[in-house]
Structure 1
Amino acid sequence: MKNEQVKKTMKGALILSIASLIAKILSAVYRIPFENIVGNTGFYVYQQVYPIYGIGVAFALTGFPVYISKLVAEQRDEATKLRLVQQIFLILCVFSGAIFVGLRVFAPFIALLMGDPQLVVLIKSVAWMFLFMPILAVGRGYYQGTFDMLPTAISQVTEQFMRVGMIILAAWAFTLFDWSLYQMGAVAMLASSAGAVVACLSFIKFYAKKFFKKTSAPKFSYLYLIEKLFSDGLIICLFASTMVLLQLIDSFTLVRGLLHNGIPLAVAKDLKGIYDRAQPLLQLGMVLAIGFSSTLLPTLSQALQKRKYAEFRRIAQVMLRVSAAISVAACFGMVVLMPQINTLLFGDANLSAELAVYVVSVIFITLIGTYNSILQSLNQFLITVVGLLGALVLKFILNIWLVGRINIMGASVATVLSLIFALVFILLFSPEIVKGLFNEGHFWLKLGLAITVMFFSVRIFTMSYMHFIGNERSDTLVMSLGGAFLGTLVFLGCALAFKLFSVREWLMLPGGKKILKVWQKIIRKEGIL
């Protein structure tokens, strides 16, 4: 029976991981056609308020559902589970209602703090999504607590499809009906509520047949539930919305800083829109790195449950090494190809240096996320919380200081430095079991050599192409795809040649066995062995 439960849990974790991957890819990719349709200023309008939506998603998708599922799983019988979620639903209704009213009432003040009073309509528009948060958080939390991950996965994917579709329609309508950018942005923000409505359909069965049943189970203390939800639950929300909170700081400080430097409002909006191009690039880099390492999470949890600490440490080491290798490769691949990627996706190479600095964040946010997963499995929350809160404070201070001196580049540098601070803090204060995981086998030296060879190989390719062909937008497609393909091959070849991973580590990775087989054929054919 216990083995069946473990199998069900592992299968559920896989389903959720796949759904999360699909949703993240959708969330990253739609921004590219959207920016091309509405332009830099239109993208600025949308991105200024997007972090508020992102925080709402963290509440409804990650933070509260994960903690509710933990509480539900701890209850012995169905009646007690229902009593628990009924009470939590009421608490979240009050909380979400307060956020809704706060956003609607204080929208003019928030827009003023962001440096653009016309954003009021977008802030009021995005507020509606918070009214659906209790339905989604409780529905997802209940099903995850009973180890049925399918409704959550379906709700997550359908919500993103609906939201992305409506955002693209809003952009299309903007070109047809002569809407203002702020009208378009308001409709795009309403897409979050439309997505929430569709996601709620996944939980109709639960609410229609179970939720409203009367139960004789004793009531929980409301004070206890409030304390737990808004301490442990909010901690998980913080982990899930780190980059969104950093973006929120940019929303409140970047345009205002540019205006303070004497840059006209119209130009500041345009520059902020170009700066926000980094978001889809960052998300795609994170999806790639975290997607590979997260495949090992169930194995990590299983090793801990069986008290196999040496096995736990070995799996944790592979997770961190894979995250580091893929994130560093993705980062430097984007850095060397940034002018071409920028031109291909967005039509020009403006602020390519600033975007290149910003995407360095991929390395540090990926490692923070991986360390967080490992520490969470050990029930160690405080270290990451303090590190991330420190990063947010540092980002705010650095933004004010650096934007005033080097404009947009200051915001990019501030993001990277704040994440470095968080990672260093986590490394310094982590428990002994997860310390020194990078120290074995000269990992960083080998990775550095592999990245250097990859970087210069791609750089020579792009420079040669530009010299003989050109650098028009059509040319950048060949350079970007060709550079990415070349970079991947060179990096894999160097990783194998320098023995970046052991054979055992390669076999633990998705597709690792096939990569090793191909490598063995190559070295035998070339007579290397």
Structure 2
Amino acid sequence: MGKRQVNTTLQGALVLSIAAFIAKLLSAVYRVPFQNMVGNTGFYVYQQVYPLYGIGMTFALSGLPVFISKMIAEAHDLPSQQQVARQVYRWLWGLALVIFIGLMLGAPILARGMGDRQLTPLIQVVAWMFLFMPALSVSRGYYQGRFQMLPTARSQVIEQLVRVIVILVAAGWATQHDWSVYRMGAWALSSGAIAAVAALLVIPRWRQRGTTTATRVPHVGRRLLVEGGTLCLLTAMLVLLQLVDSFTVKNGLVAGGMGDVAAKSLKGVYDRAQPLVQLGLVVAVAFATSLLPALTAAQQEQRPEAFKRLTTTMMRIALMVAAAATAGLVALMPWVNRLLFGDAQGSGMLSVYMLSIILATLIQTYNSVLQSQDQYRLTVVALTTGLLVKIGLNHWAVRSFGATGASWLTVVSLGTIFLVIWYGSDVTLRSGVWTSAYIRILLACTILMVFGVRLMAGLLTYWWPALLTSRLAIGGGLLVVIPLGGLLFLGMALKWQLLSVREWLAIPHGESVLRLWQQLSQHGGK
């Protein structure tokens, strides 16, 4: 690959990364006002069926386009690239029809498995978005494969923006007109198909009229199943765990003796964890994967030492940011819960769930490293193992320990996935990544930040009793405590040299942080 093409690839990766960040941020943030409008039971109705949509979204948004772009890039000329796109499009249409028919006919069975037959029409509404999956996936993959990233980036952002608008408008209208939560859920979930149409309207058509002399590409179906399916599974990791929860949490609560209405409400409280985890992941993964273009370039240019150094830097930054975000959310969970969702119900089980931010961040970061080496099998084995743990034990855990049991099983499943990846990967990718000194310093910084944040929160509450009840007051309190907690963690990390100078410089604006710290240290030494 020539230098110019490498630069084009890296610039394109940056554009897609920014678009993905915006899309994920929108996907996380909208759930807060949505839950506030529809309540716990309305949120339960939406979240029960959402994982089915989420799987389709990962197909069309990131999983399949990455695979298709790889196949397009392998083709030598424009007619061959269009031939690849046509063949993949036909295969995906077959897959989409099978999924659509399966969901339409199997909706009553799935709803019964989720313990709520009234979810049947909602599942059927979600089925329609799969019919748009082939066009979206192939269009995005085609332009990415030709190193034209703007069409994909634009369609991703528009799709998420339209979806969020439709969901919030549906929730607002349902609240004003006293709709049932199931009717509201059906309209909210229709946002998937509506957003897909909007995305298709802003992405150019890739098909060229007329005949082509390009030869047929062999093994497209097999590669679509193996490589494309693998990428989709990895991208949909958290959504698949949520799907297991859809079938086991509400049913497990009822089996444990809880009433049906109360179980639905508590499942809605449990689902508050999703936007919080997504926000934590967006921040942590954005910091870590800012190095991904450089990592890909090092792999393509066959510079093993640079690749190893960048891998170590990514993993250290990922763990540091994820640990800080997790500790902050756990320490402030009652405040965060009340501010965002109106009460502090379920703060304990939500705090447990926040531990998954660390593990999910490490899995996604490490998977990015393996993908840059075209290694997929290990992560599929790991994901399958983790899912089997969740599927096998989740119902028992909920029946025995309530919704907190499901939170712990999510953490255990993600821990299983990470351990399989970690111990199954090449020793060169493991050695020296996290030294004992790094772990000790990170634990010290995290524990100190948690104590500092709790102390500040306690003092503020003593001086300002409104923090116990007023959401507005809590918002003001968080604006004070969060920056101070972040500065405390950052100061300790710099003082105790958690990262090397080179690693700090790899973080966006890291040079400015180091320069400021040096100035403060010089003034402090006088």
Calculate the TM-score normalised by the size of structure 1. 0.97
By how many angstroms is 1:204 displaced? 3.4
Q: Aligned partners of 1:62 and 1:205: how far apart in 2? A: 19
Q: Aligned partners of 1:51 and 1:44: how far apart in 2? A: 12
2:206 partner SS: helix
Which deviates further from its counterpart, 509-518 or 480-489?
480-489
AA paired with 1:352? S
Find the partner of 1:480 among 475, 478, 481. 478
- 1:320-335 equivalences under 5 Å are 320-335=315-330
| 8 Å contact kept, 1:19–1:153 | yes
| 8 Å contact kept, 1:438–1:444 | no
2:345 partner SS: coil
Aligned to 1:466: 461
Q: Aligned partners of 1:228 and 1:301: how far apart in 2? A: 22
- 1:27-426 equivalences under 5 Å are 27-207=27-207, 210=208, 212-221=209-218, 224-426=219-421
Q: Aligned partners of 1:160 and 1:317: how far apart in 2? A: 33
AA paired with 2:475? L
| 8 Å contact kept, 1:167–1:191 | yes
| 8 Å contact kept, 1:152–1:202 | no
| 8 Å contact kept, 2:251–2:395 | no
After superposition, what is the alpha-carbon deviation per residue over 1:160-199, rounded to whole angstroms, capped at 9, x for unaligned? 0100000000001101222111111000011011110011
Q: Aligned partners of 1:226 and 1:456: how far apart in 2? A: 55
By how many angstroms is 1:437 displaced? 3.5
AA paired with 2:280? G
Q: Aligned partners of 1:251 and 1:437: how far apart in 2? A: 40
| 8 Å contact kept, 2:79–2:214 | yes
Aligned to 1:500: 498
Structure 2: 5+ residue runs without aligned partners? none
Q: Aligned partners of 2:90 and 2:210: how far apart in 1? A: 15
Aligned to 1:519: 517
Q: Aligned partners of 1:64 and 1:474: how far apart in 2? A: 43
Which deviates further from its counterpart, 459-468 or 266-275?
459-468
1:526 partner SS: helix
Aligned to 2:438: 443
After superposition, what is the alpha-carbon deviation per residue over 1:208-264, rounded to whole angstroms, capped at 9, x for unaligned? xx2x4421212234xx11111011101000110000000000000111111111211
2:23 is the counterpart of 1:23: yes
| 8 Å contact kept, 1:403–1:411 | yes
Q: Aligned partners of 2:210 and 2:478: how far apart in 1? A: 57
By how many angstroms is 1:117 displaced? 0.3
Q: Aligned partners of 1:437 and 1:40: how far apart in 2? A: 46
| 8 Å contact kept, 1:398–1:414 | yes
Q: Aligned partners of 2:436 and 2:514: how far apart in 1? A: 19
- Structure 1 residues 447 and 213: CA distance shift in structure 2, 3 A: farther
AA paired with 1:165? I
2:332 partner SS: helix
1:206 partner SS: coil
Q: Aligned partners of 1:74 and 1:34: how far apart in 2? A: 43
AA paired with 2:158? T
Calculate the TM-score normalised by the size of structure 2. 0.98
Q: Aligned partners of 1:367 and 1:440: how far apart in 2? A: 16
By how many angstroms is 1:317 displaced? 0.5
By how many angstroms is 1:382 displaced? 1.2
Q: Aligned partners of 1:165 and 1:437: how far apart in 2? A: 46
Q: Aligned partners of 1:440 and 1:402: how far apart in 2? A: 34
After superposition, what is the alpha-carbon deviation per residue over 1:71-117, rounded to whole angstroms, capped at 9, x for unaligned? 11001111111111111111111110111111111111100000000
AA paired with 1:446? I
By how many angstroms is 1:441 displaced? 6.9
What RMSD over aligned residues (CA atoms) do the two structures have, in Å?
1.1
Over 6 Å off, 4+ runs: none
Find the partner of 2:488 among 490, 495, 505. 490
By how many angstroms is 1:414 displaced? 0.3
**Alignment: residue pair count:** 523
By how many angstroms is 1:475 displaced? 2.5
Which deviates further from its counterpart, 380-389 or 157-166?
380-389
1:204 partner SS: coil
AA paired with 2:122? L
Q: Aligned partners of 1:398 and 1:285: how far apart in 2? A: 26
After superposition, what is the alpha-carbon deviation per residue over 1:323-356, rounded to whole angstroms, capped at 9, x for unaligned? 0000000001000000000000000000100000
- Structure 1 residues 382 and 105: CA distance shift in structure 2, 3 A: same
1:296 partner SS: helix
Aligned residues with identical type, % of pairs: 46
Q: Aligned partners of 1:206 and 1:379: how far apart in 2? A: 27
| 8 Å contact kept, 1:337–1:483 | no
By how many angstroms is 1:432 displaced? 2.0
By how many angstroms is 1:478 displaced? 2.4
